[in-house]
Amino acid sequence: MPTRDLIVVGASAGGVEALRSFVAGLPADLDAAIAVVLHLPAGGTSALAGILGRSGSLPAVTASDGMALQRGRVHVAPPDHHLLVVDGSARLSHGPTENGHRPAVDALFRSAATAHGAGVIGVVLSGALDDGTAGMLTIAGRGGLTVVQDPEDALYDGMPTSVLRHLDVDHVVPSAKIGALLRDCVGLRVDVGGEPSELARRESAIAATTGGVRSDEVIPLGRPSNFSCPDCDGNLVELTLAEPDGVPKRFRCQVGHAWTAEALLQAQGAALEKAVWTALRTLEEKAGLARRMRGDASARGADMLVRRFQRTEEEAAQAADVLRRHLLSGTFAHPADEVGEEFVT
């Protein structure tokens, strides 16, 4: 019988404070390995391992490819790499982003559940949107333990609330109390649990891919959605292959980028906002050019051209005013910045 000796933790917006509180509560003799993903910008380096190492009694390191996941140590995903679990070791990959993130919480959770089954404890901390929900459902489906930060304790309650909306989790506690809870859960022998789903196996393989994903690896996972991927403009497939009950609607494009419906909606809003700002700038430039051409025509005494350019200027200026009011109305407000830039150096 396996024992619970692998803890996987996911966080995003507001995750630094939650992670510091979490590791501060972990006992020094915790007999389990810990793997952590916090959504990070792709560029630069992360100081997260140093921050977490100073916040608690357990040593923390930035994970490297092939590193053994040691009990009593916190292993942190580096920027721009998925952290995956393969045969008790850390695997780093440059696989397709999930919800625009690499590392991604769901990629870690899915790989851990696939490789370690019921011996996994999944922990979701502060974050916006619904990252981590699909991964937690995969962990639960294999008999693993599920723990969620109390939404009232989180700076951003989107991720914890989404898990609670889709799954009857085992424990909901403030981040500072999760360590004491895990002390009593780690090391317990558990049933082997069910086999990982075919979809979990295939998605774990996609996340581990570094040489690119073929369309014939993605198309069989679902059906065409008629939506486009915000990352590459490719066609998105709605995943339908043996999804666990309760998983929120998810998509993958034909080169592997993954999106939940909620994250896709936010990304579409961001793309639309960018397009509207571009249109506003173009209209203002058009009005400015027409104004200059009107002045030149006036100097030459070309009254017909003066009237034409004046109409063009007025039409462009009026359209620009409409777009400006729309942009300032807050229509494109986003729930949160989903990366922890405060500790990227």
Confirm whether 131 is a catalytic residue: yes
Please tell me what DSSP assigns to residue 342: G
* Conformational region of residue 218, where left means phi above 0, alpha means psi within -120 to 50, and beta covers everything else: alpha
Q: Which two tokens stand for residue 83?
A: 């952290």
CA 255 – CA 220 distance, rounded (Å): 13
Q: Comparing C-alpha atoms, which of 314, 322, 321, 320 is closest to residue 294?
A: 314
Q: Per-residue b/e over 234-244, b at no fewer than 16 CB within 10 Å?
A: bbbbbbeeebb
Q: Which two tokens stand for residue 99?
A: 């919800």
Confirm whether 12 is a catalytic residue: yes
DSSP codes joined into one string, 169-221: -SEEE-HHHHHHHHHHHTT-B----PPPPHHHHHHHHHHH-SS---HHHHGGG
For 74, other C-beta atoms within 10 Å of its C-beta total: 27
Say which of 5, 106, 130, 131 is annotated catalytic. 131
In 3-state terms, what secondary structure has residue 165?
A: helix
CA 55 – CA 33 distance, rounded (Å): 17
In 3-state terms, what secondary structure has residue 13?
A: coil
Do strands 6-11 and 33-38 pair parallel, antiparallel, or not at all (unpaired)? parallel
Confirm whether 75 is a catalytic residue: no
Say which of 5, 21, 39, 157 is annotated catalytic. 39
Under 8 Å between Cβ of 18 and 154: yes
- Identify the helix (H) or strand (E) that includes residue 288: helix 261-300
Say which of 5, 12, 166, 225 is annotated catalytic. 12
Under 8 Å between Cβ of 272 and 263: no
DSSP codes joined into one string, 84-108: EEETTEEEEE----BTTBSS-HHHH
Known catalytic residues are 12, 39, 131
